Amino acid sequence: MLYIKDLKTGLNIFKALGSDIRIEILELLAKNQSLNLNEIATRLKLTNGAITMHIKKLEESGLIEIGTAVGKHGVQKICYLTEEKLIVDLRSKETDNLYEVDIKVGHYSNYQAVPTCGLATKDSIIGDFDEPRYFADPQRIDSEIIWLSEGFLEYRIPNYLKPNQDFAEIQLSMELSSEAPGYNNNYPSDIYFYLNDMELGSWTSPGDFGDVRGTFNPDWWPPHLNQYGMLKLIRINEEGSYIDGCRISDVKLSDINLDYKSDLNFRIEVGEKSKNKRGMTIYGKNFGNYNQDLLVRVMYTERDID
């Protein structure tokens, strides 16, 4: 998901979307995962030359990426989407009052895991499949994919605020899916989110996706296992709690009573409240379709102190 916090920063993307042909190209890639230039030109009944200019505009905007593959007729350029959702915040204002933290998915501070479960680095599985005891292995801090059929992962978010600063909004971005034995694209699971034990709301993952290989998965990762998730953005501010711009609860930051001394504990859980209890998988760098771990952004306001 691409989150545009203000209109000016999204100008290149808006220009790229200002063409019927480029919209059709995006629709084709959304339906077909990836296509080469010849396939796109043929389906749109245009010449390769005409398509090239539009592809360049989309690539410059960051909406698509281009790779190469060796085919029957030599090296081919392959196009695929880099984002599956686009959110524009029309009310957002530019501010320097924020900080960002990149937390590796293996840096959880507490956990509960029920098989099927496991974790892996970009190089290998940690321990054995379906053995929750390996979630305590010191090597788990290097994990870049974690899965469990029931339980939770809890992360400590650093609080860098000073006495004259107050929380205005907390944003959390992560790639998630359900957890099925092997994989199952139709496998809904209710995943709940908590901040300092306050329930923010939930999201139902449609499945545990494995129909195509994850863009960043290492070569050794087996093709019969889950491959990628969906990028989700959670926001908590004084209006409520949201996921991908959709309200999930009325819980506001002020309800959690945060200040510059507060601990910040974020929990992702599939548990007793989940009617669809089909696990969760969290993807970090080198796994899935997004080259990121758990990204946290904290926005704050400042006040004068006598």
Within this chain, do residues 157 and 290 fall inside the same structural domain, yes or no?
yes
Under a CB-based contact definition with an 8 Å cutoff, are residues 273 and 267 in contact? Answer: no
Q: Which residue, 81, 84, 85, 140, is CA-closest to 113?
A: 140
16 and 129 together in one domain: no
Distances (CA, A) of 136 to 106, 110, 131, 148: 10, 9, 10, 14
pLDDT given for residue 63 in this prediction: 87
Asked if residue 261 and residue 160 are part of one domain, the reply reads yes
Weakly modelled stretches of the chain, pLDDT under 50? none
Calpha distance 267→111 (Å, rounded): 9
pLDDT at 8: 65
Task: Tell me whether residue 241 is in a domain.
Answer: yes
Same domain for 71 and 163?
no
Dihedral sign of CA atoms 194, 93, 291, 25 in order: positive
- CATH label of the domain that carries residue 37: 1.10.10.10
pLDDT of residue 126: 97
- 242 neighbors 251 (Cβ within 8 angstroms): no
- The three state secondary structure string of the chain is CEEECCCHHHHHHHHHCCCHHHHHHHHHHHHHCEEEHHHHHHHHCCCHHHHHHHHHHHHHHCCEEEEEEEECCEEEEEEEECCCCEEECCCCCCCCCEEEEEECCCCCCEEEEEEEEEEECCCCECCCCCCHHHHHCHHHHHCCEEEEEEEEEEEECCCCCCCCEEEEEEEEEEEEECCCCCCECCCCEEEEEEECCEEEEEEEECCEECCCCCCCCCCCCCCCCCCECEEEEEEEECCEEEECCEEEECCCHHHHCCCCCCCCEEEEEECCCCCCCCCEEEECCCCCCCCCCEEEEEEEEECCCC
pLDDT digits (tens, 9 = 90+) for 169-214: 999 999 999 999 999 999 999 999 999 999 999 999 999 999 999 9
Cα of 119 vs its chain's centroid, Å? 18
Tell me, yes or no, whether 53 lies in a domain.
Answer: yes
Asked if 198 and 277 sit in the same domain, the reply is yes
pLDDT at 119: 97
CB atoms within 10 A of CB 261: 8
Q: Looking at residue 91, what is its pLDDT?
A: 59
Report the number of distinct structural domains present in the chain: 2
Q: Look up the domain containing 203 and give its range.
A: 95-302
Indicate whether 162 and 251 sit together in one domain. yes
- Write down the pLDDT at residue 92: 55
Q: Is residue 87 situated within a structural domain?
A: no
Same domain, 158 and 69: no
The pLDDT score that the predictor gives to residue 85 is 67
Q: Does residue 88 fall inside a structural domain?
A: no
Give the pLDDT score at 12. 79
Residues 112 and 216 in one domain: yes
Total-model pTM: 0.76
